[in-house]
């Protein structure tokens, strides 16, 4: 499969790379890292990364603007995205050929070639494996993006699906490029004081049910009062995913027309419930977008029930 993808890349002069909406460091690291990898090996190809920029993760590289190409002659590669509706900035049907490289559980087929490994820690890990298998030339900049993608999705090699293969590939990447990886963490883990104070608000105000569901519903007013945004709680959720009494954590923030929820679990499978509330994701790390707090309550009830069952 990795060789087949390399063959297609060789064929096309124009390549667009997309990833999911609301990108995280793995979505950005895998897509921008792949772009730079292709350019590094085929300097004559025109390669663009599309999607909305994410100011918070600017250190992972830039998104291309105003691309004027004939998509019917171009190759589209989508990383870290299991379904069409979550692709940011590209419509698969408009392209000559489409490739998916993803580590989410399968949702739907939208590409001609689908490389899916839902046991891989991250999409960035798949790109490292792709580079290694095809003997692509790497450099420190490419390596740093792919490394941060893996580190972010595994929460520093903590989560399940961090395997010998993850460590093997990352170790290979570091050796190959002489990557100064310890100096990369600052961007990923530095927090503003405002976020830490907001985290304090969450700790003091989240509800914990008897079955082990921790949740908080954050209104616009609270978000404004703490001078944060609708994504902040989700960015802090990993800090709440290793607490004794808690099996599932759900942070739900009002975000214009819907409620943006991040959900994490240390046992119960949550992505099936998330998918019923305009969401989805991995079995232990999901997101959902209920329409309002009433729908959010229904989702929280379902999450509470699976915690009870899990006990």
First to last CA, the chain: 41
CB nearer to ligand AMP: give 247 or 289: 289
Q: Exposed, middle or buried: residue 67 (CB in 10 Å: 0-12, 13-18, 19+)?
A: middle
CB nearer to ligand AMP: give 202 or 288: 288
Hey, how many other C-beta atoms are within 10 angstroms of the C-beta on 121? 26
Is residue 19 within the footprint of ligand AMP (CB under 6 A)?
A: no
Shortest gap between Cβ of 269 and ligand AMP (angstroms)?
13
Is residue 25 within the footprint of ligand AMP (CB under 6 A)?
A: no
Shortest gap between Cβ of 11 and ligand AMP (angstroms)?
29
Hey, how many other C-beta atoms are within 10 angstroms of the C-beta on 224? 10
Three-state SS sequence of 103-145? CCCCCCCCCCEEEECCCCCCHHHHHHHHHHHCCCCCCHHHHHH
Is residue 124 within the footprint of ligand AMP (CB under 6 A)?
A: no
Is residue 287 within the footprint of ligand AMP (CB under 6 A)?
A: yes
Contact region with ligand AMP (CB under 6 A), list: 62-70, 136-144, 197-205, 272-280: 272-280
Is residue 24 within the footprint of ligand AMP (CB under 6 A)?
A: yes
Instruction: Select from 150, 282, 284, 296 the one that contacts ligand AMP (CB under 6 A).
Output: 282
Shortest gap between Cβ of 135 and ligand AMP (angstroms)?
30
CB nearer to ligand AMP: give 145 or 289: 289
Number of residues that bind ligand AMP (CB under 6 A): 16
Is residue 280 within the footprint of ligand AMP (CB under 6 A)?
A: yes
Is residue 102 within the footprint of ligand AMP (CB under 6 A)?
A: no
Residues 76-95 that bind ligand AMP (CB under 6 A): 86
Closest alpha carbon to 147 in 248, 32, 283, 279: 32
Q: Which residue is nearest to ligand AMP (CB)?
A: 287
CA–CA separation, 91 and 168 (whole Å): 35
Shortest gap between Cβ of 236 and ligand AMP (angstroms)?
11
Instruction: Select from 265, 286, 290, 307 the one that contacts ligand AMP (CB under 6 A).
Output: 286
Is residue 103 within the footprint of ligand AMP (CB under 6 A)?
A: no
Instruction: Select from 33, 92, 268, 279 the one that contacts ligand AMP (CB under 6 A).
Output: 279
CA–CA separation, 55 and 58 (whole Å): 5
Q: Do the bridges between strand 280-281 and strand 285-288 make them parallel or antiparallel, or are there none, so unpaired?
A: antiparallel
CA–CA separation, 286 and 262 (whole Å): 6
Is residue 217 within the footprint of ligand AMP (CB under 6 A)?
A: no
CB nearer to ligand AMP: give 33 or 287: 287
Residues forming the site for ligand AMP (CB under 6 A): 20, 22, 24, 86, 234, 262, 278-282, 285-289
């Amino acid at each position: 499969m990795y060789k087949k993808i390399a063959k297609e890349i060789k064929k096309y002069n124009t390549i667009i790379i997309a990833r999911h909406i609301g990108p995280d460091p793995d979505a950005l690291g895998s897509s921008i890292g792949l772009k730079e990898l292709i350019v590094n090996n085929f300097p004559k190809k025109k390669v663009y990364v599309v999607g909305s920029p994410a100011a918070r993760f600017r250190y992972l590289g830039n998104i291309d603007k105003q691309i004027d190409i004939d998509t019917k002659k171009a190759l589209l590669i989508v990383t870290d995205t299991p379904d069409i509706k979550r692709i940011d900035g590209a419509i698969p049907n408009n392209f000559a050929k489409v490739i998916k490289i993803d580590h989410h559980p399968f949702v739907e087929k939208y590409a001609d070639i689908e490389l899916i490994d839902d046991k891989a820690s991250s999409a960035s890990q798949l790109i490292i494996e792709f580079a290694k298998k095809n003997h692509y030339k790497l450099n420190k900049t490419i390596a740093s993006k792919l490394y941060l993608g893996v580190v972010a999705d595994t929460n520093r090699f903590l989560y399940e699906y961090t395997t010998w293969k993850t460590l093997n590939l990352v170790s290979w990447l570091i050796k190959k490029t002489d990557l100064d990886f310890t100096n990369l963490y600052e961007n990923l883990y530095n927090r503003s004081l405002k976020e830490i104070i907001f985290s304090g608000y969450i700790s003091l105000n989240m509800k914990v049910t008897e079955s082990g569901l921790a949740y908080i519903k954050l209104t616009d007013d609270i978000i404004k009062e703490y001078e944060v945004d609708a994504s902040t709680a989700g960015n802090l959720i990993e800090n709440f995913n290793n607490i004794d009494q808690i099996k599932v954590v759900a942070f739900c923030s009002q975000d214009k027309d819907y409620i943006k929820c991040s959900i994490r679990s240390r046992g119960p499978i949550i992505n099936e419930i998330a998918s019923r509330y305009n969401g989805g994701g991995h079995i232990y790390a999901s997101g959902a977008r209920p329409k309002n707090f009433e729908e959010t309550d229904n989702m929280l009830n379902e999450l509470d029930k699976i915690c009870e069952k899990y006990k």
